[in-house]
């Protein structure tokens, strides 16, 4: 297939990009002991993007014959050329890049295919049962396992020729406890790039289930507290949410051109000196980040992109088109979820670099505040970096010590204001946002994380 695509690309008129993708997904979901979904999907096709007269055209096909792929190339070129007269701001060119060539395998000693469907289904059923047996207060349980396995070949007429393999499994548990009509929810999830045993390397499925049950039951007895602006220590999960949702989207170059808050602010101080925030294709500090991407869907070899360096905004996230527009090098952020999607600018693994403080030191330095852990109950952020996120676990800090569990806590504010308030960055590091996907017209598997940080946020609670 690589040779066929390369022959077609090299013989084409003008610039073309061809992506072959064979995808296999498995999904198993159980709720309250009842199987809600058990399915497999196999998708195979070729996506073609052509640049004609300053306009992109895109076509995809499931016909993998030479005739079928050449037909898709002609359709993409035709879509571009007939659109050219309607395009006001023409694409002036594509930035040069370090193109990937060769084969990029999945790094694991325990491939997903070594574990049959029956084993995965039995695991999901067993963990769902464990949650319901975990406490008499549990009234609802939900467990799901999903995996995506990809083979991709990316070829462009100007030099990319990469053959990639990818495997991204994830696992989620949810427990709902109830007493006298009052309900509380406990959850845990993990998602990675790698093999089956890599998925549970940090904690077993049983530990995840037990954690969800304990949290749901404990939250039933936890008090509400009033809101306000307070000093907090955020765990790597919330640092990841802040980095991805509230900062990362504002530096995607297409959103910058659309007027995001970071527009025109390269070189401007936007955060504390202690904050260096990055987005990386390869996993950094810890292996198996779920957004691991060694080559992007334009065939560009990925590296680490420093977005904020010691508090100063240094870079946006780019495709080849946006890099040419801004006069910089591509950052390897052009991604397409399926063969029938065209590459657009997406994050990969977004994080804050570790610092020098310990978690204990950060907590010890707070007279009155909170220790906050994990995203719970969803959230929202926009291109102005304004955000509001639910918190999965919130603990009071009094006189430098962690105290009681508190329920119903949210955090909100402007993400750049929060980053300016950072006065300590932990020396630890974890990826925490690997389960699930990021949506932007099409899905992308991403990850996010970092160390613990200490900062000031607005807490939402229950007014007296």
Partner 1 sequence: MMGKTLVELCQETLESTRRHKADEAEVYGESVRTITVTIEKNDLQISRSQAETMIGVRALIGKRIGFSSTNDPTALDRASRDAVVLAKASPADEKNILLL
Binding interface with partner 1 (CB under 8 A):
22, 33-35, 37-45, 55-63, 75-76, 79-80, 82-83, 86-89, 116-118, 121-122, 125, 258, 340, 342
Strand-pairing partners, residue 312, are: 269, 309
Both structure tokens of 218: 């404990």
Q: Which is nearer to partner 1, 122 or 364 (CB)?
A: 122
CB 72, min distance to partner 1, A: 8
Q: Which is nearer to partner 1, 43 or 456 (CB)?
A: 43
Q: Which is nearer to partner 1, 35 or 268 (CB)?
A: 35
CB 302, min distance to partner 1, A: 23
CB 338, min distance to partner 1, A: 10
| Among candidate residues 341, 443, 333, the one with its CA nearest the CA of residue 47 | 341
- Phi then psi for residue 406, to 5 deg, are -125, 145
Do residues 379 and 428 lie in contact, with contact meaning Cβ atoms separated by under 8 Å? no
CB 94, min distance to partner 1, A: 14
Q: Which is nearer to partner 1, 79 or 215 (CB)?
A: 79
Both structure tokens of 376: 């719970």
CB 387, min distance to partner 1, A: 23
Q: Which is nearer to partner 1, 77 or 421 (CB)?
A: 77
CB 122, min distance to partner 1, A: 7
Q: Which is nearer to partner 1, 35 or 364 (CB)?
A: 35
Q: Which is nearer to partner 1, 63 or 182 (CB)?
A: 63
CB 11, min distance to partner 1, A: 21
Q: Which is nearer to partner 1, 129 or 218 (CB)?
A: 129
Q: Which is nearer to partner 1, 13 or 65 (CB)?
A: 65
Question: Residue 39, exposed/middle/buried by CB under 10 A (0-12, 13-18, 19+)?
Answer: exposed
CB 370, min distance to partner 1, A: 40
CB 226, min distance to partner 1, A: 43
């Amino acid at each position: 297939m690589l040779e066929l695509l390369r022959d077609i690309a090299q013989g084409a008129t003008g610039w073309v990009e061809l992506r072959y993708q064979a995808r296999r997904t498995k999904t198993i979901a159980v709720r309250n002991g009842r199987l809600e979904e058990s399915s497999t999907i196999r998708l195979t096709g070729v996506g073609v993007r052509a640049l004609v007269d300053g306009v992109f055209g895109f076509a995809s096909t499931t016909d993998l014959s030479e005739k079928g792929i050449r037909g898709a190339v002609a359709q993409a070129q035709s879509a571009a050329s007939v659109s050219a007269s309607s395009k006001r701001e023409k694409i002036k060119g594509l930035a040069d890049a370090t193109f990937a060539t060769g084969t990029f395998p999945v790094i694991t000693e325990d491939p997903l295919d070594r574990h049959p469907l029956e084993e995965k289904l039995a695991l999901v059923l067993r963990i769902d049962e464990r949650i319901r047996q975990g406490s008499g207060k549990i009234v609802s349980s939900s467990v799901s396992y999903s995996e995506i396995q990809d083979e991709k070949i990316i070829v462009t007429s100007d030099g990319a020729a990469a053959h990639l393999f990818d495997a991204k499994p994830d696992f989620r548990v949810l427990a709902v406890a109830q007493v006298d009509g009052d309900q509380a929810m406990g959850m845990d999830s993990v998602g990675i790039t790698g093999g089956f045993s890599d998925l549970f390397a940090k904690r077993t499925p049983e530990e995840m289930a037990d954690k969800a049950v304990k949290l749901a039951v404990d939250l039933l007895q936890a008090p509400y507290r009033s809101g306000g602006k307070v000093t907090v220590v955020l765990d790597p999960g919330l640092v990841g949410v802040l980095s991805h949702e509230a900062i990362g989207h504002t530096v995607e170059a297409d959103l910058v051109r659309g007027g995001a808050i970071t527009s025109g602010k390269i070189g401007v101080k936007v955060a504390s000196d202690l904050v260096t925030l990055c987005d990386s294709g390869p996993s950094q500090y810890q292996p198996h980040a779920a957004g691991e991407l060694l080559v992007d869907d334009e065939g560009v070899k990925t590296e680490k992109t420093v977005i904020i360096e010691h508090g100063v905004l240094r870079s946006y996230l780019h495709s080849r088109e946006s890099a040419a527009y801004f006069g910089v090098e591509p950052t390897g952020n052009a991604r397409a979820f399926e063969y029938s999607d065209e590459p657009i600018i997406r994050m990969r693994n977004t994080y804050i670099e570790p610092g020098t403080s310990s978690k204990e030191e950060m907590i010890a330095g707070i007279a009155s505040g909170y220790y906050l852990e994990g995203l719970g109950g969803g959230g929202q952020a926009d291109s102005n970096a304004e955000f509001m996120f639910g918190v999965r676990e919130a603990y009071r800090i009094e006189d430098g010590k962690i105290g009681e569990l508190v329920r119903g806590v949210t955090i909100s504010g402007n993400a750049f204001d929060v980053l300016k308030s950072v006065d300590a960055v932990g020396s630890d590091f974890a990826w925490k946002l690997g389960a699930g996907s990021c949506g932007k017209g099409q899905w992308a598997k991403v990850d996010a994380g970092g160390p613990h940080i200490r900062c000031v946020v607005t807490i939402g609670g229950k007014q007296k």
